[in-house]
Amino acid sequence: MERTRGDLRIFRRTLPMRVVIPNAVTVLVLCAGLTGVRFAITGEWRNAVAMIVIAGVLDGIDGRIARLLKGASKFGAELDSLADLTAFGVAPALIIYLWSLVYLPGIGWVFALAHAVACALRLARFNSRLDVDDQPHKRAGFLTGIPAPVGAGLALSPIFASLWLGPDFLIDVRVRFAVSAAVIGTTAALMASSVPTYAWGAIRLRPTWRLVALLGVGLFAAALVAEPWMTLTLLSLAYAVSVPLAIRSYARVMRRSAAAVPAGPGPAA
């Protein structure tokens, strides 16, 4: 009996692999983001932005792996936030700074800081509202602000476009700075804002559209492999266009909800 109790105590002190695996994927997110900075320091822009894209893909699956393996934990949630801040806040800010904003070190650094700070604020707001029931955006199937990985992609979209259209695009450092500053400033504002944005998990398709959706996913994957920079540039533009559409859709949902609420009883005679 004593041996059995000792075995149970040892078992309780061990950590099951189903908890370690999603945490390991989250650590890879952090490592990918920092590796992107390393490539940016040496001027390897393709590798730098590719590492941020890889970090985004890994960030999209670590939570699903945790739910699939039933390995979600408070430690994992905290680690995920820190990894997201590094990979999608600090790393993109440094990469875009070294690529264009460095040409005006003073004001350029301010824009880089704005992105990192806005990402931190966005993640802090998300974590602080996990247990809050009254979330109108979430209840309606929307997000509040743009997610950190999307913010990183939008901030790096000028580099995507430059890699797609060739070295002559944005070759003028003044134009490159102006475009990058405008994009990263807008992205930072959207991350820290309270504007409603589409939540892809809340999208519902009619059964007749299932094959079309699967075909679209296949074509997107093929385009990403064949022409990654063109695909990422167009994807960034499409998401930017979706933001005002999401604001209009949310307003329409709220109007319908308000109209569906029955009017209260009138004043007594």
Check residue 207 and give its pLDDT: 78
Determine the residue type at 57.
V
Whether 214 has a pLDDT exceeding 80, the answer reads: yes
Whether 199 has a pLDDT exceeding 90, the answer reads: no
Query: Which region among 126-140, 142-156, 189-203 has the lowest average model confidence (pLDDT)?
Result: 126-140
pTM: 0.86
Span 32-36, average pLDDT = 96
H-state helical runs in 42-133 = 45-69, 74-84, 91-99, 105-128
Residue with the larger pLDDT of the pair 149 and 76:
149
Residue 169 · residue 241 · CB < 8 Å: no
Whether 5 has a pLDDT exceeding 60, the answer reads: no
Whether 266 has a pLDDT exceeding 70, the answer reads: no
Check residue 1 and give its pLDDT: 44
Count of alpha carbons within 13 Å of 108, Cβ hemisphere only? 19
- What rounded mean pLDDT belongs to the chain? 85
What is each CA distance from 143 to 67, 221, 226, 255, in whole angstroms?
A: 20, 25, 31, 18
